Structure formats: structure tokens, C-alpha cells
Amino acid sequence: MIVAFASSDGVQIDQHFGWSKQFHLFEVEPESSKPLRIVDSSAEPEGEHEKLTYKIGTIEGSDLMYCTQIGPTAAKMVQSAHIHPVKVAENESIEEAITKLQQMLRNAPPPWLARIYHKSKQRSA
């Protein structure tokens, strides 16, 4: 499963989705994780809708996107792109978020997460 984190430093989840200048993408499995790449999302077009469309395009292919905040319009657009937004407390570490996600995957994940994980496995098969 591909997870995008809105982060300024690659350590903490510390960015609002719409204002994030970069996303750190990781491949996360129940027993492992590995960094994939850092996506620069700073070249934003003018206009709110265009800006959000651009941001979503930079993380296309992700299954989950962690951020500190996301507006209702952006959340709907992200979900329409088949990416599930997850809001966390500011400065939660990426490592901590991955550990929590892995624990959920191993220990009877909630239905929304099980559905996303199985879709990601089908896509990669």
C-alpha cells in the first residue's frame, strides 16, 4: 500500500494538505515499510481548484494521505481520486504513524482500511 505524508522534513507529519510543499511516499505492508520517494508539490497553479487538482496529481497512485488538516472540498477531491485522507495531530512522526497503521493491518483492521489494503494488493498483483 502506498502512503503519502504531508511533511516539511520527512520526519514529522506537520503540513496542511493544501499548503504542503512536499509529500513523502512510503510503501507500507503489515510487516515492513520502505521510503519510495519525495514528491515536490511547490509549483502550484493559480486558483483553489487548480491548486488542489495539482496537489492530488502529485500523489496519484497513493492509497492513503496523512496530513494535519484538510478542508472539506479538498477531502472530497482526494477521496474522488481514490486516496483516503487521514488527519493526525501536528508533529506526529511518520515512523509512529506507520507503526500504528501496521498494527491496525495486523490486528483486525477497520473495514475502511481492509478495503483499501485489499484494493492496493489487487492493483499490484
pLDDT digits (tens, 9 = 90+) for 82-114: 999 999 998 899 999 999 999 999 998 999 999
Q: Where are the alpha helices (DSSP H) in the chain?
A: 48-58, 72-80, 94-106, 111-124
* Cα–Cα distance measured from residue 71 to residue 18, given in angstroms and rounded to the nearest whole number: 8
Q: What are 18-55's pLDDT values in tens digits?
A: 999 999 999 999 999 999 999 998 887 888 889 899 99
Residues 6+ apart with CB under 8 A from 4: 23, 24, 25, 39, 59, 62, 64, 65, 66, 83
Q: Which domains does the chain have, with CATH numbers?
A: 2-124 (3.30.420.130)
